[in-house]
Chain A
Amino acid sequence: MSASSGEEAIRAWAAARRLPEPYLARWLALGPDDRTALLAAVEGLRMRAGQLIAALDLLEEISVREAQPVAAILARIEVRRILNGAGSRPGRASALLAALRAIRFPRLARATERIAREIAALGLPRGIRITPPRELASDEVRVELIAHGGEELNELLGALARHARALARIADLAAGVGWNGDEI
């Protein structure tokens, strides 16, 4: 694709989806290979304008953080696997954004995953919900009990008591205590 035809295709995509002008300008300001690679991704996954905006933000930030062009980021194995993979296009578009977010926030992604794994491993009854702080932005862990009747509530409280030590460890992790040196 020539530079001018690439630009035309981007303008056409933006017009069709009413992409706001500032985002179009940022897209066109990328290098020729970068903007074309992004166009291929958004067309391939039939992304919406909002998804393009999110992807553009993440790609630009990763590019500065890692001193890598956008095209190289989109060529990474974990990204290519999504772009070329099976599954519905909307599902893959969401997966692409999640993958870019994990690249943009690598330690946050690892930390969030570890806490989620620890919570899942407890095998708590359905009526107990443990919610770590959103994006680990604070140290506040929420514990919710959803019971129907006293007997059920007693069972849930018993389960909580049996897992008290493990839950405290999860709360510690959310507060930054108990991590191994190389984990975050």
Chain B
Amino acid sequence: MRFDLDAVYLEEEMRETPLARRVIAALAPGVPVYRVPDGRSAARADREAADPFAAGKRRMVIMRRRSRFLMGCPAASNEFACCGYLVMELASNCPMDCGYCFLQEFVADNPGFQIYANYADAFAELDRVQAGAGRPLRIGTGELADSLAFDSLTGMSRDFVRYFAGRDDLTLELKTKTDEIENLLEIDSRGRTLVSWTLSPERVFRSSEHRTAPPAARIAAARRVLEAGYRVGFHLDPIIAYEGADRDYAALLDRLFDSIPAARIEFFSLGGLRMTPGLRAAARRRFPRDPMLLGEEVLAPDGRYRAFAPLRMALYAAINGRIAKEKSKTRVYLCMENAGMHRRALGEAPPTPAVLGARLAGGN
């Protein structure tokens, strides 16, 4: 992926780390590197910029992570039927720029593109979590940043795939909208790494998913990692309920199944577009001409704007129906929806987060 970086800020304490050396060696010529005592100040929003969030994406900060790397999924809630996902924060923000991205609100105050050079500390946390879990765990790195978008610079994925290859009770999920898989192809994951792609119809990609790989390139990349021994999954999330979306999602799935048989796909997660009022305002301010941000969303009881309930339900059911036609055992679950929606749309009650989490992690 091509990076348009204005500058790199390197925290003094991290300057001799392998990651810092790798990133600086891989930078395009002419990108200035500034040493700073504390990367957090460099990550803060530049309020003078016309678009502080976009400016943050062009300012890479190589720094130490001061809090834990592992945490529960920030989207988890008792309101929803959840998937027991754990997230590992290796970076914050992303060089891509999707119109609907929740980071526009979530990291609005600290939009600098942070990469944590002490990421090897995460291995000790993983060891501890594994020892106390008592069930298989699925741990993803794609929550506050795309898992692979910066991998050509950092090469982090190699270290993590190797670590997880030796852990039978842990599954690493690398979630991406890129086709940056070259580092993965060099390593035997022993099936312990699952690479997942967020997939959207061409219309959403063109309208909203700026600087991402086209859907066809994502599917082709998925096919390649599958052949290299990785497991694959797909997130149809956010599902945007524009007129004709049902046909477009069916066509997208046709295209996917032409390339990858459903039986080889671990899961589909489905999630309708949801936006807090703050995110909606930020997204519309940044992308006022994007019709995907102007759907038939209404304020739902959870305080987020969502497509009105029957419309969401109809789309979930249609997509699930198309997947079911393949007669595979691929798991389908909803993200950030309640148990009632799950039951009506998918025809069954959702498993508990622990059960679903273990199934998604265990691959059986």
Contact = CB atoms under 8 A, between A and B. Distances in A.
A143 B218 CA distance: 48
B344 interface: yes
B175 interface: no
Contact of B298 (A64, A108, A176): A108
B291 A64 contact: yes
Given A106-B296, A136-B311, A177-B344, 20 more contacts: A64-B288, A105-B296, A106-B243, A107-B308, A107-B311, A135-B299, A136-B310, A139-B341, A140-B301, A173-B310, A175-B309, A175-B313, A175-B340, A176-B313, A176-B314, A176-B317, A179-B310, A179-B314, A184-B310, A184-B311
Nearest to A67: B291
A133 B309 contact: yes
Given A107-B296, A176-B314, A177-B313, A135 B289 contact: no
Contacts of A174: 309-310
Interface string A94-122: 00000000000111100100000000000
B289 to A, nearest CB: 6
A65 B294 contact: yes
Contact of B344 (A111, A133, A140, A175): A175
Interface residues of A, number: 23
Contacts, number: 72
Contacts of A138: 300-301, 309
A137 B291 contact: no
A137 B298 contact: yes
Contacts of B310: 111, 136, 173-176, 179, 184
A108 to B, nearest CB: 5
A105 B317 CA distance: 21
A136 B309 contact: yes
Contacts of A176: 309-314, 317, 341, 344-345
B306 interface: yes
Contacts of A179: 310, 314
Contacts of A184: 310-311, 314
